[in-house]
């Protein structure tokens, strides 16, 4: 785990929602709404979530399993075009260790009466946070972790 | 390791509970198609369709020995799927599922309010 390394990755997610771009945008801009989809982790305690949604504004999300390691996201908003685009970057920390730094672009395009969302995240992932060394390689472990990751945000 | 078109296929493959169940059982060891199908409440053609999706993703391979088609997990693809990047993406996929649910709930409650006002 003491080995230093940095890996880079970009991924794109496209989604279509049946509401107008303004509605989707609102779910990112309104802190109460964002709370309902962004950080609802089953069994986790959200210690802090503050959102200052404007260019240069910051967002802090802090939480974790009760008694477990705290996760912390520090976000800065770089570009906001209402109902069209948001660009932000964020550092993710586990305890006091930064595990990734990402640049994220979210675009909203009208699509009939709905919205096509395009989300691109470019990131650097630090020091093999996942700990390949102490990872037991087994397909069941994979499914568990994938399942946890999928369920974690429920 | 980061072959994105393949990762997309892996995600599509694992997005379905039946296929997750199949992969989980194959994780305990190779099985024939009929063994795979036995606990599932669906027709054999439906099972074969799921198997095709799993094979296309590379997660599962199958081979005919005599009259039996044996299915097994491809560990290398599984490891790729296990990477941190994949999990990070999975986190956002979950978030956007939730966002979709929230938007649908909003639309539904507005529809009800409008109806009540009439």
Q: Quick one: closest CA in A to B29, which residue?
A: A139
Task: Say whether residue A23 is in contact with chain B using an 8 A CB cutoff.
Answer: yes
Which residue shows structure tokens 């940095």?
A: A6
Can you give the pLDDT at residue A35? 86
pLDDT tens readout for residues B75-96: 888 776 666 566 677 778 778 8
How many Å apart are CA B103 and CA A19, to the nearest integer?
A: 7
Give the residues of chain B that fall short of pLDDT 50. Answer: 1-2
Say which residues have a Cβ less than 8 Å from residue A119's Cβ, sequence separation at least 6.
A12, A13, A14, A15, A104, A105, A106, A107, B92, B96
Exposed, middle or buried: residue A108 (CB in 10 Å: 0-12, 13-18, 19+)? buried
Cβ-Cβ contacts under 8 Å, B13 against chain A: none
| pTM more than 0.80 | no
How confident is the model over A23-60, as pLDDT tens digits? 999 999 999 999 888 876 666 788 999 999 999 999 99
Domain ranges of chain A: 6-152
Any CB–CB contact under 8 A between A56 and chain B?
no
**A137 Cβ under 8 Å from any chain B Cβ:** yes
Measure B87 CA to nearest chain A CA, in Å.
6
The domain locations on chain B are 1-80, 83-118
Q: Is residue B82 less than 8 Å (CB to CB) from chain A? A: yes
CATH number given to B1-80: 1.10.10.10
ipTM summary value:
0.72
3-state secondary structure of A69: coil
CATH number for the domain whose boundaries are A6-152: 3.30.530.20
Residue A40's pLDDT is 60
Task: Tell me the backbone φ, ψ of residue B57, rounded to 5 degrees.
Answer: -75, -15
């Amino acid at each position: 785990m003491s080995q230093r390394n940095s890996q880079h990755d970009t991924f794109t997610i496209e989604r279509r929602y049946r509401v107008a771009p303004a509605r989707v945008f609102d779910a990112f801009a309104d802190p109460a709404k964002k709370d309902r989809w962004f950080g609802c982790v089953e069994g986790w305690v959200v210690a802090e979530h503050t959102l200052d949604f404007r260019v240069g504004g910051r967002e802090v999300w802090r939480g974790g399993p009760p008694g477990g390691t705290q996760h912390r996201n520090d976000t800065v908003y770089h570009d906001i075009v209402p109902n069209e685009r948001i660009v932000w970057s964020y550092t993710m920390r586990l305890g006091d260790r930064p595990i990734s730094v990402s640049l994220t672009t979210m675009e909203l395009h009208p699509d009939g009466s709905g919205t096509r969302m395009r989300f691109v995240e470019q990131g650097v992932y630090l020091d093999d946070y996942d700990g390949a060394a102490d990872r037991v390689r087994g397909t069941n472990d994979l499914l568990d972790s994938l399942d946890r990751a999928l369920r974690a945000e429920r | 390791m980061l072959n994105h078109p393949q990762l997309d296929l892996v995600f599509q493959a694992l997005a379905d509970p039946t296929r997750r169940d199949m992969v989980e059982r194959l994780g305990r060891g190779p099985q024939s198609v009929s063994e795979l199908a036995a606990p599932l409440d669906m027709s054999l053609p439906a099972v074969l369709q799921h198997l095709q999706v799993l094979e296309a993703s590379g997660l599962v391979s199958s081979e005919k020995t005599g009259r039996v088609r044996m299915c097994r997990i491809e560990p290398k693809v599984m490891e790729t799927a296990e990477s941190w990047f994949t999990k990070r993406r999975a986190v956002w996929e979950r978030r956007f599922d939730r966002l979709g649910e929230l938007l649908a709930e909003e639309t539904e409650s507005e529809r009800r309010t409008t109806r009540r006002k009439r």
